[in-house]
Amino acid sequence: MTDQATAVARIAVAERHLRTGRIGLGYVRGFGLTRGAIASTVAHDAHNCMIVGAAGPAGPAEMAAALTRLAELGGGQVAVLDGRVIAEVALPIGGLMSDQPAREVAASVEHLEHIAAEALGVTIGAPFMHLSFLGLSVIPQLRITDLGLVDVDQVRADLGDAGLTQAPEGQAGAVPARSVNTSHNGARRAGRPGPPSRYPVVMAGVASPSARTVFLASSQ
């Protein structure tokens, strides 16, 4: 894995169904994204808005531009650079499906992934597929939602300033960062080997509003 692939970027989950204004914030590594932002409304199972942006000072503005475009499209997947949308796939049916011919949608997705790699530095294959599973809060081990970090193994949520369950200082949920050792499909828990990975592992660090951070893996 290259240094670029392990670079830390920002990640956010914005609730999009009930207008609550909830946004979970954190950090992610493994995408390789070093500039701009990508965002998607395909995010199992809640299908909220998932956004990954550059770690630098411009990151939040890039992420905001991506989120704004998702709202304008009525859902979909986008890539943004310098505040400008450089590629997109509109999914106006629930933010999950297109009303265009399958061949055209497939070509648009391929183009979007190509632009994400060429313009934003994304190094992982199928980045939007990987992104869609980082918010899936029913699979091990640790996930990010609009409420913050969820420790799926311990069935606990670290909601930080939300005022619900909070983990002890230095931990996220019930799992210290140093103990997390997860394969791509979440089968390996601390010290327990998992099956061989056929896909690049997306490592993500989720920071609750109280600023605790751990690293976790996407489940593919």
Angle, CA 107 vertex, CA 103 and CA 109 arms, to 5°: 115
pLDDT at 5: 56
d(CA 97, CA 105): 10
Confidence of residue 6 (pLDDT cuts 50, 70, 90): low
Closest of 81, 69, 37, 73 to residue 55, by C-alpha: 37
pLDDT at 28: 85
- pLDDT score of 160 more than 60: no
Residue 151 structural domain: 139-217
Task: Determine, yes or no, domain membership for 125.
Answer: yes
The answer on 21 and 124 residing in a single domain is: yes
The pTM (predicted TM-score) of the whole model is 0.72
What percent of the chain is predicted at pLDDT more than 70? 67
Task: Determine, yes or no, domain membership for 1.
Answer: no
Choose one of 107, 132, 157: the last residue of a domain: 132
The answer on 124 and 61 residing in a single domain is: yes
Choose one of 132, 156, 186: the last residue of a domain: 132
| Residue pLDDT, tens place only, 82-113 | 999 999 999 999 999 999 999 999 999 999 99
The answer on 99 and 152 residing in a single domain is: no
What percent of the chain is predicted at pLDDT more than 90? 52
Task: Determine, yes or no, domain membership for 39.
Answer: yes
Choose one of 132, 152, 172: the last residue of a domain: 132
